[in-house]
Amino acid sequence: MTASSPTITRLDRAEALALYRELSIHDLGRRAHEACMRLHPECYRTYVVDRNINYSNMCVAGCEFCNFSVSPYDKEGYVLTYEQIGQKIDQLAAIGGTQVLLQGGLVPPEMLDFGWYLGLMRFIKKHWPAIHIHGFSPPEITAFSQWFGLSVPDVLSRLRDAGLDTIPGGGAEILVDRVRRRIGPHKVDTAGYLEVMRQAHLLGMRTSATMMFGHVETVAERVEHLERIRQLQDETGGFTAFILWTFQPGTTPLGRTQQAEAGAVADGEHLQLAGACEYLRMLAIARLFLDNVPNLQASWVTQGPRVGQLSLFFGANDMGSVMMEENVVAAAGTTYHLDEQQICHLIADAGFRPAKRNCYYQILCESVQY
């Protein structure tokens, strides 16, 4: 099996659900680890040193799972200046970081025009040409298209020409419109999200894919989400990685109402808050189902360092990012922090050699002290 070709015995949705419901977590983990080792027999496991930069916290999407964003007219709203963003990149470069993840809310066009975003790309590339820009999720790209009167390919090509390198998979949540209408009704729908990714891939850009689960969706809808990712990957081959994490309720609007509403699901399952066991089960299912997506990241940011380490035996081949800065999950009350040395130790303690990578999963250097 290769990363670009499916397995002969590709799982369908019914089979994936049967595995989820019938196998123990240990059997699921074993199968997922075997699949991961076929894809990644090398002795190392990877990580990246980057920084999340939320250029603004203002947003009109009104997602019920978010505790970070504020109304554009809220006194707590901000837009970082280029200079403030530059200071953050200087700090990243000082610790050997290689990329920034740029994401904001859906900021109304009267507050930020398209020239601001293009100018930011040029500013970063002028002063830090070696820094990889991983930025602007499909909901942001869609908003740019609608607000600035441009097609999605035009938005993407202009951003790319100004310096944007790759696009993150944020804003996917669950790619089923029943769920999207419930938790984020003002964001792009499933077809629109996937179309942004399709157009980016057609332009030669690479993207990641994500899933946030454990709120109002059913397990069947989680698998439907995986199928949509797999279908587009069959078509374009543009996804470099898949990252899934559990909903962090905290004091979010959705968290406050979840217990009353999470039982009203299509197949009769009553979903509880997804913990470590549920996370590992879904990670394993994702590795088995997404036979054409080469890399799976561990979500230590939501699950903590030890579950992140255990993920390396449930289908993940990457420990994700050192994540010098993280604001969105932290706003919901989950605050795990790891530096590069700690991530390397977790990888080594799991029996692998730590290897620093870039956004394309190319190895930059392997650790010599482990």
pLDDT given at position 117: 97
Share in percent of the chain as helix, strand, coil (round to 5): 45, 15, 40
What total number of domains does the chain contain? Answer: 1
Average the pLDDT over 107-114 and give the result.
92
pLDDT given at position 357: 97
Q: What CATH number did the domain enclosing 208 receive?
A: 3.20.20.70
The answer as to whether 3 is a domain residue is no
pLDDT given at position 183: 86
The answer as to whether 1 is a domain residue is no
Segment among 78-87, 281-290, 335-344 with least mean pLDDT = 335-344
pLDDT given at position 273: 64
Average the pLDDT over 85-107 and give the result.
93
What domain range includes position 290? 23-362
The answer as to whether 6 is a domain residue is no
The answer as to whether 2 is a domain residue is no
The answer as to whether 11 is a domain residue is no
pLDDT band at 249 (very low <50, low <70, confident <90, very high): low
- For the entire predicted model, the pTM comes to 0.89
Which residue type sits at 121? M
pLDDT at 224 over 70: yes
The answer as to whether 65 is a domain residue is yes
Contact 197, 170 (CB under 8 A): no
Contact 183, 212 (CB under 8 A): no
What would the pLDDT profile of 127-172 be if each residue is shown by its tens digit? 999 999 999 999 999 999 999 999 999 999 999 999 999 999 999 9
Residues for the chain: how many in total? 370
For residue 368, the surrounding DSSP H or E stretch is: none
Average the pLDDT over 312-341 and give the result.
74
pLDDT given at position 197: 98
The answer as to whether 91 is a domain residue is yes
pLDDT at 202 over 70: yes
Check residue 251 and give left, alpha or beta (phi > 0: left; psi -120 to 50: alpha): alpha
Buried b (16+ CB within 10 A) or exposed e, 113-151: ebeebbebbebbbeebeebbbbbbbbbbbbbbbebeebe
Gap between the Cα atoms of 67 and 73, Å rounded: 16
Q: DSSP labels for 52-104?
A: EEESB-B-SS--TT-SS-B-TTSTT--B--HHHHHHHHHHHHHTT--EEEEE-
Segment among 15-24, 68-77, 307-316, 349-358 with least mean pLDDT = 68-77
pLDDT at 246 over 50: yes
DSSP code of residue 236:
H
Winning range, highest mean pLDDT, from 170-184, 221-235, 294-308: 221-235
Minimal CA–CA distance to 1: which of 228, 230, 234, 292?
A: 292
The answer as to whether 150 is a domain residue is yes
